[in-house]
């Protein structure tokens, strides 16, 4: 996340399902460790493989529309991805 902080004012991290391993925990810990440098919204995809990819594409589209990171994260969390 520190590398992303150099060029971005916020980060949305879409990670594989928290049920599939410790990636969610690691992402949350990483987000907390850089909180003073850049806000990071970690989104549990509740999915794997292409499910994560589709959410990343949706996040990119929302960013292209000018939405901020928290709005993007909230939209991803609210949408049904099954």
Instruction: Identify the CA nearest to 69 among candidates 58, 56, 59.
Output: 59
pTM, full prediction: 0.85
Q: How far is CA 57 from CA 34, 35, 63, 68, 76, in A?
A: 24, 25, 10, 15, 11
Q: What percent of the chain has pLDDT over 70?
A: 98
Residue spans of the chain under pLDDT 70: 81-82
Tokens of 61: 């589209």
Q: Which pLDDT belongs to residue 82?
A: 55
């Amino acid at each position: 996340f520190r590398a992303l902080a150099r060029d971005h004012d916020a980060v949305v991290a879409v990670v594989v399902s928290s049920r599939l391993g410790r990636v969610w925990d690691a992402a949350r810990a990483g987000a907390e460790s850089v909180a003073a440098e850049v806000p990071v919204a970690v989104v549990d995809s509740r999915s794997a493989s292409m499910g994560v990819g589709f959410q990343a594409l949706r996040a990119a589209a929302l960013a292209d529309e000018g939405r901020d990171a928290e709005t993007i994260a909230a939209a991803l969390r609210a949408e049904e991805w099954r």
